[in-house]
Amino acid sequence: MTTIPILDYATFAGDTKQAFVAAWGEAARGPGFLVVKNHGVDSALIADVFAKADAFFALPTKVKADVSIDKSPNNRGYAGTGSEALDEKSGQMDQKEAYNIGLDFTADDPRVLRGDPYRGPNMWPADVPGFKETFTTYFNAVLDFGVNLHRAIALDLGLKEDYFAQHFTESMSTLRVLRYPQAQNPKPGEIGAGAHTDYGSITLLMTDGTAGLQVKPRDSDDWIDVPHVDGAYVVNIGDLLMRWTNDIYVSSPHRVQRPVKERRSIAFFMDPNPNSLVTALPSVQGDRHYDPILAHEYLTERLTATYSRKAAS
């Protein structure tokens, strides 16, 4: 049985740095999932994000609809229960609700006025005091942590430690809070979020400890539970990084089963700058498995597929 390794980010310093890099590389080539503790993101800030998300999800549906993702061309805002289908094979719509933010741009920013992809203002709910401040602070903290994790990725792949920093100066990263409602009598095979792989570079997920997240490593036919470590991030490889590494790293399918009690999580999807060209990295050249593609074009392809399944349902 494949196991999900638990790494201590505090060891990514001094004499133990290479041990962390080696453990990261083994996980990225194996299950594509790992748990990282001692990451330095403030626990009180994490708790505040959960509290603000709870307050938002408790609002009436018509109030949440004021910041609907359908009103945003930039993948920002509220997505209601049954509005997404991550698993195209199951025929089921996901039983979750979510809210997204990204980098915040003013309406008169030149990049917004030009119509640059994924450059636009967030849609902030007016009914939760402190929501914008808390979410913005958390977004910046986790983005910094994620960029630092890319230092370990670079070292593992034989690149300069700061290689990826240039690709996350104005990233398309998304902070998404999620709520999975309690299932009274879930049927076998009933899903909270369908089986899928993530789109971007890496995902950093904080959960409330409620079970449900499972992964199917690429070398296995079995779904395994992802372990919960209090205060630690579940980190997984996304399809874009698998593409960037010419399939050296592995993006594994995962899903969320319908929970027997309400489940909440905070996901941070790291996507590079819109115009970053994603092609085989210098250290993994050879027979290219993928054509080069701009990061914003790839993200649009994946999001379009997810929401087109909603339209067809």
Residue 309 has pLDDT above 60, yes or no: no
The per-residue pLDDT for range 52-99, each reduced to its tens digit, is 999 999 999 999 999 999 999 999 999 998 777 787 677 788 889 999
Question: Are 225 and 1 a contacting pair, CB within 8 Å?
Answer: no
The model's pLDDT over 108-118, given as tens digits with 9 standing for 90+, comes to 999 999 999 99
- 158-178 pLDDT, tens digit per residue, is 999 999 999 999 999 999 999
Q: Of 303, 296, 260, which is closest to residue 100 (Cα–Cα)?
A: 303
pTM for this model (two decimals) = 0.94
Which amino acid, one-letter code, is at 116?
D
Distances (CA, A) of 202 to 142, 249, 271, 300, 309: 12, 11, 8, 17, 24
pLDDT for 313 equals 31
Domains of the chain: 40-312 (2.60.120.330)
Exposed, middle or buried, 53 (CB in 10 Å: 0-12/13-18/19+)? buried
Segment 259-281, tens digit of pLDDT = 889 999 999 999 999 999 999 99
